[in-house]
Amino acid sequence: MPHKLYLQDVTLRDGMHPIQHQYSKQQIRDIAMALDKAGVDAIEVSHGDGLTGGSFNYGFGAHTDWDWLEGIAENLQHAKLTTLLIPGIGTIEDLKRARDLGVVSVRIATHSTEADISAQHIEAARNLGMDVSGFLMMAHMNDARGLAQQAKLMEDYGALCVYVTDSAGALLMDGVRDRIRAFKDVLKSETEIGIHCHHNLSFGVANTIVAMEEGANRLDASLAGMGAGAGNCPLEVLVAVLNKMGKKHNADLFPLMDLADDVIRPMQQRPVQVDRETLSLGYAGVYSSFLLHAERAAEKYGLDTRAILNELGKRKMVGGQEDMIIDVALDMARKGQK
Would you please indicate which residues are annotated as catalytic (active-site) residues?
A: 17
C-alpha distance from residue 305 to each of 173, 201, 230 (Å): 27, 17, 14
**Helix (H) or strand (E) run with residue 94 in it:** helix 92-100
Q: How far is Cα 36 from Cα 81, in angstroms, rounded to an integer?
A: 10
Q: Return the bridge partners of 163, or none.
A: 135, 194
Angle, CA of 217, 65 and 49, to the nearest 5°: 60
Residue 269 CB coordination number (10 Å):
10
Coil, strand or helix: which one is 130?
coil
**Helix (H) or strand (E) run with residue 298 in it:** helix 291-301
**Helix (H) or strand (E) run with residue 219 in it:** strand 218-221
Burial annotation 78-105 (CB, 10 A radius, 16+ → b, else e)? ebbbbbbbbbebbbbebbebbbebbbbb
Q: Which residues contact 304 (CB under 8 A, 6 or more apart)?
A: 298, 338
